[in-house]
Structure 1
C-alpha cells in the first residue's frame, strides 16, 4: 500500500485553487436564477389563492424529494430530449447550463421557504401601522417589512448557500471541471494514487469557502441589525 504523503495535500491544493472561480460563478448564476424563481414561488404561496398555493407546495415537495444527483442526471439527459421534440437543440450547451438549471430548481424550493418564513416573521402590526400613517402598500413593504425580513432571512440564506456549494460538488459527475472536478481529474491522472491527499485538499478548500461565506453574511446580518436598532431609537 502506498504511504501517505502530506506534502501532496499542498500540491493538490495549489492545483485546485484556480478553479474556485468556476465554482463561485456557478453558485452566483444559481443564486440569481433560483432566487428569483424562489421569490415568485413565495409570492404565490402568500397570495392566499388556494390553487396557486397548493401548486407551489407540490412543487417544493416534489423537488425536495428528489436527490440532487438524480435531478442532475434527469436534466442532463432528459432536458435535451424534451426540447428536441420542440425543435430546440441544446446538446451543444456547456455543462454549466445543465448544472445551473438543475441547482436553480433545487435552490428555488429552498428559497421559497426562506422568503415566506422571513416575511411572516415580521409583525403584521407594523405593516398595518405603516399603512395607517399614509404609506402605500409598496412603500410599507420597502421601508418597513423588507428590511426586517432581510435580517431574518440571512441565517437561512447562509445555510442554503452552504448547502448549494456542497451539492454543487456533484457537478463533476457530468464532466463539469470546477473545484471537485479538478480534484477528480488529479486523482485520475495519478491513476488513483494520492486520492486521500487530494480529498483532504478538497475538504480544506470547501471548509475555507464556507468560513468566508458565513463570515461575510454574518457581518452583513450584524450591520443590518445595528441599523434596525439605531432606526428604532431614532439615532
Structure 2
C-alpha cells in the first residue's frame, strides 16, 4: 500500500487558515477563567468557613468535579441542562450558542480546581500577620486586603497559571459538541480534504496550542516576578 509522504510545508501554510479560529478558543477560555475564578474564590471562602455544613458542601462539590472526566461533564451540561431547565422551569435553551454550554462546563471545572489553589495559598500565609494588623488598628477588611491577599496572590500565582494553561488545552473538547474553535476548524479542513494531510494539520494545530501555552506561561512568570519584587520592597 502506497502512503503519501509527510509534507512539512503544509504545516506552515495551514496555520494562517487556523489562526482566526483561535479567537473562539480564547473567548471561551478567558470567559471560563473569569467566571471560574469568581466561583473558585467563593468555594475557597466556603472551605475556610467555620461553618461545617458550608465547608462540607464546598469540599464535596470539589471532590465530585475533580473526579468527573471533562468530556463527561461537557456532555451532561450540553445534553442534560436544556432538558432539566425546560422540565423544571419551562426555559428553552435549545437556541443558545454551543459556546455557552462550553463556558458553563469549564466554569464548573475551573472553579473547583482553583478553589484548592486559593485555599492552600491563603492557609500558607501566617495568620499572625492578620491578627497583628487588626491589633494595630486596621479593620478586618483592611487587614485582609492589605496584608493577607497580596501575599496569598503571589503564592497562588504559579498554580493558578498552570490551571489556566490546562483549561486552555481542555477547551479543545468543545469541538465534540460542534463548536468550531481551533481544533474544530482543524477537523473540518481534514474532512474537507477527505483525510488528506491530517497529520500535518494536527501538527499545525499543536504548534498554535504550544505557542499559546508558552505565552501564558511567560505572562505569569513576569507577573510572579513583578509581584515578588513588590513584596520584597514592602
Q: Which residue of 2 aligns with 1:202?
A: 205
Q: CA deviation at 1:204?
A: 0.6
TM-score by length of 2: 0.97
Q: CA deviation at 1:12?
A: 1.5
RMSD, aligned α-carbons: 0.8
Distance 1:32 1:88 in 2: 25
1:191-221 Cα offsets, whole Å, 9 max, x none, are 1111110111111101000010010111011
Asked if 2 retains the 8 angstrom alpha-carbon contact of 1:9 and 1:201, the reply is yes
Distance 1:105 1:192 in 2: 35
TM-score by length of 1: 0.97
Asked if 2 retains the 8 angstrom alpha-carbon contact of 1:12 and 1:183, the reply is no
| Structure 1 residues without counterparts, runs of 5 or longer | none
1:60-88 Cα offsets, whole Å, 9 max, x none, are 11101110001101111000000011100
1:160 to 163, 166, 174: 163
| Structure 2 residues without counterparts, runs of 5 or longer | none
2:196 to 189, 193, 196: 193
- Total equivalences in the alignment: 231
Asked if 2 retains the 8 angstrom alpha-carbon contact of 1:114 and 1:153, the reply is yes
Q: Which residue of 1 aligns with 2:66?
A: 64
Distance 2:14 2:188 in 1: 11
User: Post-superposition, which runs of at least 4 consecutive aligned residues in structure 1 deviate over 4 A?
Assistant: none
Q: Which residue of 2 aligns with 1:146?
A: 149
1:28 to 23, 27, 30: 30
Q: CA deviation at 1:39?
A: 0.8
